[in-house]
């Protein structure tokens, strides 16, 4: 006979755990996390003293790190390029603490990949800038040709 006990997630009080934890790798050294707090209304506006503990560590044996934020997002910096990290969040409101969100794992960009992305962005900016200059020159030439009619002989 198989017997399973329902063990509630650790937390104190009745705050639900944050949900929909997502990552967006910004570079080889930084990541942006965002989540939804189901105890807030649909606007997700924080109007009380609650804050969030964000815990993360490099996989498999990284140092446990944490930050405290009073928003539904955070950007973490100084991560190692090409390394996997685990992230989780919990809500704290007064003496109440929610259980942790589901843990998610993501990998920072390799150092060289981040460099390529920066180079590509620079190339795109240069291309768009030169295209804008060409359009301005063509417009200026067109304006000059329409405002200065050919001299009558």
**Among 96, 92, 87, residue whose Cα is nearest residue 20:** 87
* The pLDDT of residue 151: 58
* The pLDDT of residue 149: 61
Give the contacts of 6 (CB within 8 A, at least 6 positions apart): none
Peptide bond into 60 cis (omega under 30): yes
* The pLDDT of residue 110: 81
Residues of the chain with pLDDT under 70: 1-12, 113-114, 147-153
pLDDT tens for 97-121 read: 999 999 999 998 887 766 777 788 8
Do the beta carbons of residue 35 and residue 90 sit within 8 Å? no
* The pLDDT of residue 58: 94
Name the pairing type of β-strands 31-36 and 73-76. Answer: antiparallel
* The pLDDT of residue 88: 97
**Which H/E stretch holds residue 1?**
none
């Amino acid at each position: 006979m198989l017997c399973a006990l329902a063990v509630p997630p650790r937390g104190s009080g009745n705050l639900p755990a944050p949900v929909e934890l997502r990552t967006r790798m910004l570079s080889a050294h930084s990541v942006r996390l965002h989540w939804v707090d189901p105890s807030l209304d649909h606007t997700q506006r924080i109007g009380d003293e609650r804050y969030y503990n964000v815990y993360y560590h490099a996989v498999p044996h990284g140092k446990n790190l944490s930050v405290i934020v009073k928003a539904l997002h955070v950007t973490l910096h100084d991560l190692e390029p090409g390394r996997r990290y685990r992230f989780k969040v919990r809500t704290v409101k007064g003496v109440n603490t929610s259980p942790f969100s589901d843990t998610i794992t993501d990998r920072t960009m390799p150092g060289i990949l981040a460099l390529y992305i920066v180079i590509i962005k620079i190339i795109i900016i240069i291309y768009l800038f030169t295209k804008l200059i060409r359009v301005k020159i063509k417009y200026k030439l067109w304006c000059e040709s329409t405002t200065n009619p050919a001299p009558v002989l």
